[in-house]
Amino acid sequence: MIGRLQEWGNSYTRRGRFSPVGIAFHWIMAALILFQMGWGFWTDFMMPGGDKLRAYEIHSAAGLPILLLAIARLGWRAMVTDPYNDADSQGFQTKIAHATAIIFYITFFTLPLSGWAMWSAVAPPGPLYLGGVLTWPQMPLDTLSPVMRMAVLDIAEDVHTASVIVLCVLVPAHVAAALKHHFVDHHDVLSGMLPEIEDRPGHPPVPPHKPTVPRFPKGSEAG
């Protein structure tokens, strides 16, 4: 089963494309991150009360799936190699792209984990839901003293804020780099992360991409 999945996924990467699973991970997580950033900023400006508490519940319900998707995404990348594309031969720019991808993955964990800790440190914590449906357990902080819980809350809030600031820098830079690769450099980076559309009957086939070089991790796209 795993072998067939690997072969299926690598059949795309050998043609210089991300697999449909990799593409789904990328765009679903991108949508969740953008929603979380916008919703989080809007919630911060709300007046204290029931509406703000409900907004935080929605924020947590959308944030926890990011943690599970990040774990699953790492597992998929360990199983299926990423394609070797034009962005992998840009020297220093490629190194920056790889470092950016690693930082993205770090924030995929620090944001939901710090948010989970913040929610669990509140006394008494309210219910936490995954996707707004399934009950999610609290971190075991209820046995700590009020002083220790406040310390955990402060640290988690600092980590959460720092991660948001990092994303506010990386997301626009990532989008700008992808657009530059596509429209200025005419590289195959963005096209390899878009769903593949089959040629119409009678249409000439698209020339094959250059062969791939198996490697992990790969970071010209954060996906």
E strand intervals along the chain: 128-130, 134-136
- Identify whether the C-beta of residue 65 lies closer than 8 Å to the C-beta of residue 115: no
pTM value is 0.83
pLDDT (tens digit per residue) in 14-53: 888 999 999 999 999 999 999 999 999 999 999 988 899 8
Domains of the chain: 2-193 (1.20.950.20)
pLDDT for position 67: 95
Given a cut of 50, the residues of the chain with pLDDT beneath it are 211-214, 216-223
pLDDT for position 125: 62
Cβ-in-10-Å burial (0-12, 13-18, 19+) of 160 comes to: buried
Report helix, strand and coil shares of the chain as percent, to nearest 5.
65, 5, 35
Query: Token match 């009020």: residue?
Result: 146
pLDDT for position 207: 53
pLDDT for position 198: 63
Identity of the residue numbered 12: Y
Residue 115: name the closest of 169, 152, 143 by CA. Answer: 152
pLDDT for position 115: 94
